[in-house]
Amino acid sequence: DVLGQDRGDTLGSVSSGARALFYLHTPNESSFEKVEDVPQYVQQATPFFMGLMLLELLVGFLKNGASVVTVSDGLTSVSAGMISRLPGLFMRGLELTSYMYVWDHYRVVELPWDSAWTWWLTFLGVDFCYYWVHRFAHEVFLLWAAHQVHHSSEYYNLSTALRQSLTQQFTSWIFYLPMALAVPPSVFAVHLQFNLLYQFWIHTELIRDLGPLEWILNTPSHHRVHHGRNLYCIDKNYGGALIIWDRLFGTFAPETDKVIYGLVYPVRSFEILRVQFHYYKYVWKKFNRYKTISDKLSAVFMGPTWKPGRPRVGDHSGNPKVTGQEVPYNPSWSTSLQVYVVIQFLLVLGIYHDVFENKTMLSQLTVLALTAYILLTLTALGFIMDQRPSAAVLEMLRCVVMVIMHRSGYMKPLLPSLAVPIEVRRPVERYITHSITSVN
């Protein structure tokens, strides 16, 4: 019957979403002829992200008697993930768009989209390309300025996986283009998502060792090393789903001493735009420090610690010594203020979700206005978490902007029962104010 079929579809969707996180789909169920047919696996995984983060909180508290994440750091990580997706409101992802262009115009051979061999070859190819995307992001100063966002947390938990860069996506697409000479875009689109999803669950301290799987797979233990600022951790374990590339190319390191997480020089801020862009200031300063064009270009395209006379990737002899007693940045603030920030964050998260759900029905002006409001809100909350003196002024400004946008029909009310009669001045976007009582 229809009810039974719906129930079966729901269970199948739940199973598919859960298995996608661990790369446990088979070629038969995840091979598609057209890119348009490829499911949005990452978007479908959002409830599983939330569920696993809550489970980690519970297990961590029961195991250690303390939370695995602070309010400030967790919200900053999720905020970074939100910001990294904002370009998707205005353009299609560069990785898939550029890949399809090369496929359409320059492919050499056309592997069959419905072959298990193609599926497995693409699995290896995407992970191999990701290894080099990731390695170059650490070994090229300009690319590191983008990627450092992901390493900026001084904690290590599942929310850290969401701390993504806004700008890294504008260069990472280059590394996947060789695959477009042979692998159909639909198969590539599947594995690009699976490879990303797999990397979520390895961001945890609760899973210690996976035995023989540690030889082949990228695991929480291996990835903890990658996020460490201990000398033995730096520039190690770049793999996505597999650790074999690191073993082959000499960038593997096992977990030994206690890992101290974060940047060598911590950003010490929860203000999201600073977390995203502060490193570009150092790139510019380093570029201006040198006189010759050769040195200027080397300063940008060599390693972050490169100087004249040093190796291409530089060295870490001048790094601050890690003692194991480092205390993460965590300014003290009242419980009531934390509750306020969490509530405001959840409200803007709802707006963020609505924008992505309805972006095709909104004008570009509306999308731009809502994007600006989201950035303003996340920035204001970062000021509060940092306890900056100007936080109150910025938050008051944000509240004024929020009221104006509500009255202008850009946003729906928080609860239908709180709706007030207002004039909807943008009929083409009336759906976004469907819960507002309109004046006849």
41 domain residue, yes or no: yes
- Answer for the pair 312, 305: CB distance below 8 angstroms, yes or no: no
pLDDT at residue number 410: 84
- Type of residue at 311: P
Query: Locate tokens 């995307």: which residue?
Result: 133
Q: What span, in angstroms and rounded, lies between the C-alpha atoms of 292 and 440?
A: 70
pLDDT at residue number 411: 83
313 domain residue, yes or no: no
- Type of residue at 273: L
323 domain residue, yes or no: no
The token pair at 440 is 């006849």
Q: What span, in angstroms and rounded, lies between the C-alpha atoms of 386 and 381?
A: 9
Q: Would you tell me how many other CB atoms lie within 10 Å of the CB of residue 247?
A: 14
439 domain residue, yes or no: no
Kindly report the pTM of this predicted structure: 0.90
182 domain residue, yes or no: yes
Which of these three, 199, 215, 249, is where a domain ends? 249
- Answer for the pair 23, 198: CB distance below 8 angstroms, yes or no: yes
CA-wise closest residue to 382 among 232, 281, 269? 269
What Cα–Cα distance (Å) separates residue 110 from each residue in 32, 179, 197?
Answer: 14, 11, 27
- Claim to verify: residue 175 and residue 28 sit in the same structural domain: yes
pLDDT at residue number 415: 57
294 domain residue, yes or no: no
Q: What span, in angstroms and rounded, lies between the C-alpha atoms of 189 and 301?
A: 29
- Claim to verify: residue 54 and residue 184 sit in the same structural domain: yes
E strands within 251-390? none
pLDDT at residue number 421: 41
pLDDT at residue number 146: 98
Domain count, the chain: 2
- Claim to verify: residue 229 and residue 345 sit in the same structural domain: no
pLDDT at residue number 12: 58
- Claim to verify: residue 77 and residue 214 sit in the same structural domain: yes
Helical axes 71-85 vs 272-289, angle rounded to 10°: 70
- Claim to verify: residue 388 and residue 239 sit in the same structural domain: no
- Type of residue at 20: A
Domain limits for position 75 = 2-249
- Answer for the pair 174, 136: CB distance below 8 angstroms, yes or no: no
- Claim to verify: residue 236 and residue 102 sit in the same structural domain: yes
Query: Helices marked H in 21-153 — which ranges?
Result: 41-44, 46-64, 71-85, 94-106, 116-139, 141-147
Per-position pLDDT tens, the chain of length 440: 544 444 444 555 778 888 999 999 999 999 999 999 999 999 888 899 999 999 999 999 999 998 999 999 999 999 999 999 999 998 878 899 999 999 999 999 999 999 999 999 999 999 999 999 999 999 999 999 999 999 999 999 999 999 999 999 999 999 999 999 999 999 999 999 999 999 999 999 999 999 999 999 999 999 999 999 999 999 999 999 999 999 999 999 999 999 999 999 999 999 999 999 999 999 999 999 999 999 999 999 999 999 998 899 888 888 899 999 999 999 999 999 999 999 999 999 999 999 999 998 999 999 999 999 999 999 999 999 999 999 999 999 999 999 999 888 888 766 554 444 433 334 434 433 443 333 33
pLDDT at residue number 99: 97
- Claim to verify: residue 245 and residue 128 sit in the same structural domain: yes
- Claim to verify: residue 187 and residue 48 sit in the same structural domain: yes
CA-wise closest residue to 384 among 372, 396, 373, 374? 396
209 domain residue, yes or no: yes
- Claim to verify: residue 147 and residue 53 sit in the same structural domain: yes
- Claim to verify: residue 165 and residue 58 sit in the same structural domain: yes
- Claim to verify: residue 244 and residue 341 sit in the same structural domain: no
296 domain residue, yes or no: no
Which of these three, 227, 249, 271, is where a domain ends? 249
Which of these three, 221, 249, 277, is where a domain ends? 249
Q: What span, in angstroms and rounded, lies between the C-alpha atoms of 221 and 203?
A: 9
pLDDT at residue number 1: 53
The token pair at 308 is 């004249």
